[in-house]
Structure 1
């Protein structure tokens, strides 16, 4: 019996009591109730505080209501015992057969286990890694490459229609400085002031020359435009390839220039004027964002006629909304705290309720240590440690998992030696090894002629050991963990769940009374087969959870 099934059973009990006249609920019976795993051993398999929540509305005391619900639950198939504890908590024990059946459910669901329709009908845009196409992606982008992708995965798992989007900052003077830096490298000249340096610029100069021979011999103005175009294409392709190798995928690569070329910015300004939230002052055009809680009004067009980044940001948001997205999620760096208020105020000026359409997440900085020293990054100085270099040195799985297992707003210091060592102290190794262990157990079972039992060949009641109960309850919790991770945009909840579940599985594996395989000349029994189902179920959950983090589930380690 899963938590969802037990929640439904409690709702049925309340409905029955209301129908019999034994209980009055003026606001009606809730459609679901909270079911939790007790923290203390001996308090049953599950617990609910529904009696405490409803007693006042029902005009009775919590313990009396809990007793009424208890009497109904005891008649429910799969419920072995119900205890009324404290002021009115219900501690519920599930019989072994109903609990063991969870393993069969997990195996039958396979790769879809953990998914739900919690967010079905929602069309969500997740924008992460907003970068200039002027250099390789580096550590400053790596955290969002992991978390943005993982958030997209868990939102999809919860039933949402998700689009992962990369915003290309390809407009502005930096693109000309980028092209000028490439030209200077190709011609052996000094780099322009505030230009781009580093070995990658020299590599780009060679690649641009190879892509279009003679490009550096063009007249100055024509050459700048041509090098900007070719260098942009080559550098953007390098970014895309790096992310593909890092197992981060985007559905849309959106160009900032396209907003302006397509007329979106003038259309945005016209709409804002219609809504009455823009004004002119000092020769500039402003958006009155202070009407919606911003600390100051924002300039859209400067007095010299130049558009601001905020004008592009506003046009981009409205572009997303025009594409049918109900909710827009922004993942921004640690230096963008000031953007939260202004983006929400901007959405309100555009006629939206930002609480319903906008979610801005701020990620904290990550430091990578090697031999006790911090790796320093500076795109302009050319001392770059790229995403590709980090992935090559640390490993895609180790780097992704290490970044995914912490909340976005938690500053991180990661040590290369710690996150790459093959030890149980390393969380990614610990979980991946747990999955590999389940695969090895299944292979060993095959060698003994054991296969998954079907139909009446599986007896769930045999999974009655205390550790088997703990493992089954953990497996049953997975769909709720995924749904919570999606709703809260917190994929680290899945990582921590995987670690806890692996720990329970390892304790079960190490317990002599819980051996899955027959020993010596012992025959294969129904208990062996039932435990094989449990191992298959554990493998399914570990594999599905790792996949939601974009981490592989190796069969051998």
Structure 2
């Protein structure tokens, strides 16, 4: 019995108990909370339902818990129910009922863990969106891994997800980039406010290779801009693809200005009174919508501020039919939470359609010391530097296993280790270990069976119940926008598997020439289901599930 099915059983039983005693079942929550106790001695699962609703019903919580315990004990799926403390219910499942979890995994296969809570919701997920003025640095690498994993988790929860990269090809940073390229082409140092590094020299040389007369051309600046920015962006897309992160849409900021979308958005706000004129500039009344200050939209020199493009971009997303617009931004963009929600409200939209996730910094450590310099970029560590050091799987997993709103230190020496100290190795090895068991079983002609009522050892039950948690973990990761929960769950599952497999009483394969027993065949089936969960979870993180290591 899965946790969801157990929750339904407890609720249905509670409805019968309350109705029989003349109490109103409407007091019950729509979904009963079922949790796994930290102490296994307290049972397989626990619920605080009696504590939740007793006051509404005018009864003593422990009395209500006792009534529920008596009723649940009479069901086939429940082996025992204990009342604990002021009214908690600790439940133990019958062995065969527990086996329903394994049957569900086997029946659903790659779909196990998916849900429908976001069915019908069109999600625009914008992430990375690094300036096209240099290779992707570690902050962008973190968003590439976390954003891609979040997109997979949201899609697994039924959302129609569009992954979008906002290409910042308008503004002063592009001009500084082009001037840096031209300086490198002339053999001069980078401008004081420009960009340096081997990549600038490489791109400048490629521009001259394609347009030998670019430096002397009347429109030389435009030539370097057109070719240089495109070369940089193509490199960014190539690095992202090699990292396992691809986008459905590459949206060009400059298109908002060229199409007149920015002007149209500003005119709309002026007409609605969302903007006011003061000190020669046009201001958004963002404080009226929860922002900490009003924002300049049109500067006193007549040029649009950056937020003007943000407003037009939001309107464009909504016009494309997105119900939810998620922005994943860097640590220095915390102020965008208020301003983007205020912008949505100012154009007459629901600010709840906007979600802003802020990611914190990433630091690399090797030999106990910070790694600060890139061989190619000069001033920052890039995505490619990290991949070259530890590989795609280790890099992606390291980036996704911690909450993105906390800073992250990555130990390169640890990620290079092929040991259980390395989290990605620990999880991948669990999948590989099961694959090895299944190969050995096949060589023995051993086939699995569904005699799960024979799986009565505590280690077997722990593994089954941990497998059963996967759908809830995925649903929570989607709801909270926290894909790191999947990684931490996989580590828990790996530990549970290893404890099961290393327990002599839970031997899966027969010894020597012994024939396999029915309980061993049932354990083999449990291994098949567990491997499926590892594969499904790693796929959500964009990490491979190796058959051999």
Using the size of structure 1 for normalisation, the TM-score is: 0.95
Name the SS for the 1:55 alignment partner: helix
1:254 maps onto 2:254 in alignment: no
Mapped to 2, the partners of 1:387 and 1:247 lie a distance apart of 12
Name the SS for the 1:42 alignment partner: helix
Contact 2:374/2:385 (<8 A) preserved: no
Shift of 1:190: 4.3
Alpha-carbon displacement from aligned partner over 1:373-422 (angstroms, at most 9, x marks no partner): 32225999843432112111121111111121111121112221012211
Q: Given the alignment, which residue of 484, 490, 512 partners 1:520?
A: 512
Matched with 1:232 is 229
Q: Given the alignment, which residue of 435, 439, 443 partners 2:439?
A: 443
Alignment of 1:480-499 (within 5 A): 480-499=472-491
Name the SS for the 2:265 alignment partner: helix
1:372 maps onto 2:368 in alignment: yes
Name the SS for the 1:417 alignment partner: helix
Matched with 1:69 is 68
Alignment of 1:275-286 (within 5 A): 275-286=272-283
Relative distance call for 1:82 and 1:381 in structure 2 (3 A) is closer
Mapped to 1, the partners of 2:181 and 2:426 lie a distance apart of 46
Mapped to 1, the partners of 2:207 and 2:294 lie a distance apart of 43
Alpha-carbon displacement from aligned partner over 1:487-520 (angstroms, at most 9, x marks no partner): 0011111111111111111011111110101111
Mapped to 1, the partners of 2:313 and 2:215 lie a distance apart of 37
Name which of structure 1's ranges 416-425 and 70-79 shifts more when overlaid on structure 2: 70-79
Mapped to 2, the partners of 1:444 and 1:171 lie a distance apart of 59
Relative distance call for 1:29 and 1:117 in structure 2 (3 A) is same
Matched with 2:217 is 219
Matched with 1:361 is 357
Shift of 1:21: 4.9
Matched with 1:421 is 417
Alignment of 1:187-202 (within 5 A): 187-202=186-201
Shift of 1:479: 0.2
Shift of 1:295: 2.0
Aligned residues: 549
1:49 maps onto 2:41 in alignment: no
Contact 2:139/2:360 (<8 A) preserved: no
Matched with 1:106 is 105
Matched with 2:337 is 340
Name which of structure 1's ranges 156-165 and 186-195 shifts more when overlaid on structure 2: 186-195
1:320 maps onto 2:312 in alignment: no
Matched with 1:17 is 17
Shift of 1:191: 3.5
Matched with 2:349 is 352
Contact 2:135/2:377 (<8 A) preserved: no
Alignment of 1:232-311 (within 5 A): 232-311=229-308
Contact 1:48/1:91 (<8 A) preserved: yes
Contact 2:27/2:53 (<8 A) preserved: no
Contact 1:51/1:88 (<8 A) preserved: yes
Mapped to 2, the partners of 1:423 and 1:164 lie a distance apart of 34
Aligned CA RMSD, in angstroms, stands at 1.8
Name the SS for the 1:92 alignment partner: strand
Shift of 1:442: 0.4
1:183 maps onto 2:195 in alignment: no
Shift of 1:228: 0.9
Shift of 1:430: 0.7
Name the SS for the 1:390 alignment partner: helix
Shift of 1:29: 4.0
Contact 2:162/2:248 (<8 A) preserved: yes
Name the SS for the 1:423 alignment partner: coil
Mapped to 2, the partners of 1:464 and 1:215 lie a distance apart of 79
Shift of 1:140: 2.5
Contact 2:7/2:32 (<8 A) preserved: yes
Q: Where does structure 2 lack aligned partners over 5 or more consecutive residues?
A: none
Mapped to 2, the partners of 1:335 and 1:73 lie a distance apart of 53
Mapped to 1, the partners of 2:291 and 2:278 lie a distance apart of 18
Mapped to 2, the partners of 1:251 and 1:215 lie a distance apart of 36
Shift of 1:477: 0.5
Mapped to 2, the partners of 1:383 and 1:284 lie a distance apart of 37
Contact 2:27/2:56 (<8 A) preserved: no
Relative distance call for 1:264 and 1:525 in structure 2 (3 A) is same
Alpha-carbon displacement from aligned partner over 1:287-346 (angstroms, at most 9, x marks no partner): 011112222211110111011001111111221122111111111111122222222222
